[in-house]
Amino acid sequence: MRFDDQVVFITGAAHGIGAATARRLHQEGARVAIADHDRDAAERTAADLAERALAVTCDVHDRDSVDAAIAATLETFGRLDQLVAVAGGSAPMPDFAEQSDELWNDLIDLNLTGVMRCIRAALPALQCSDRPAVVMVSSVNGLAAFGEESYGAAKAGLSNLAKNLAVRYGPRRIRFNVVAPGTIRTRVWDHQPGSLERLKRFYPLGRVGEPEDIAAAVAFLGSADASWITGITLPVEGGAMAGPLHFSGRAFNDPDQ
């Protein structure tokens, strides 16, 4: 029960990695705020947890929405100890030279600025906690070149943000860390039959990741077991980064591999 009596606010918590994280931390004793722009799905996820769970509407693009979601969490639970920023994503993009400012800015806002909004809103409450921590969910796209330049640039920014905030708020005992997943079996792959089977060949451990793999890493970094860890990015990617020739961008994008 590493999160007994802890209140955790989780963005993107209605589906996939966020929902798996909510289940994991709830199982370990946390009271969890299921924050998502999809309110109906957030309520279903909260209902599945039965107790110690609150569904809140949260659009990370919108400062007022983020601030209201944090305020609702504080009103219900009376405190906030940890923030897990999962909300993010990519979208089909034209070639880099043809990308519009609007498309670029939208992905940066979702994956980087949106995380900043959540941290900014949570900071006053986190500074009142006796075990404050922030865990951001990034991607291996932020660690190496796998295409999707705007998405990768935003995710890379999370690692630097974590370092800077770890230094700035270390004296106040707030820890900031990042988890960088590889390919994870989530709903984004539902309309791409056979893709996950193909991609698992590029992972030395022989499979793609499951949302629970990332939830376990988030739980570790948020727990007292990681009390002397801050400012790091933890790749959780089945060994992909260990063999860059095995998992090269050329091979990754070659449908015949």
Q: How far apart are CA 197 and CA 175, in angstroms?
A: 37
Q: Helix, strand, or coil here: 45?
A: helix
Based on the number of CB atoms within 10 Å of its own CB, is 88 exposed (0-12), middle (13-18) or buried (19 or more)?
A: buried
The closest alpha carbon to 9, from 36, 39, 35, 28, belongs to 35
Nearest to 42 by CA among 70, 10, 65, 74: 10
DSSP, collapsed to helix, strand or coil, labels residue 9 as strand
* Residue 88 structure tokens: 């993010």
- Find out whether 233 and 143 touch, Cβ atoms under 8 Å: yes
For residue 23, what is the enclosing H or E element?
helix 16-27
The radius of gyration computed from the CA coordinates of the chain, to the nearest angstrom, equals 18
- Contacts with 28 (C-beta within 8 Å, 6 or more apart), sequence order: 1, 2, 3, 4, 219, 223
Contact between 90 and 155 under an 8 Å Cβ cutoff? The reply is no
- Report, as residue numbers or ranges, the catalytic residues: 151, 155
Q: Show Cβ contacts of residue 84 under 8 Å, excluding neighbours closer than 6 positions.
A: 8, 9, 10, 11, 13, 18, 21, 25, 134, 135, 136, 137, 218, 222
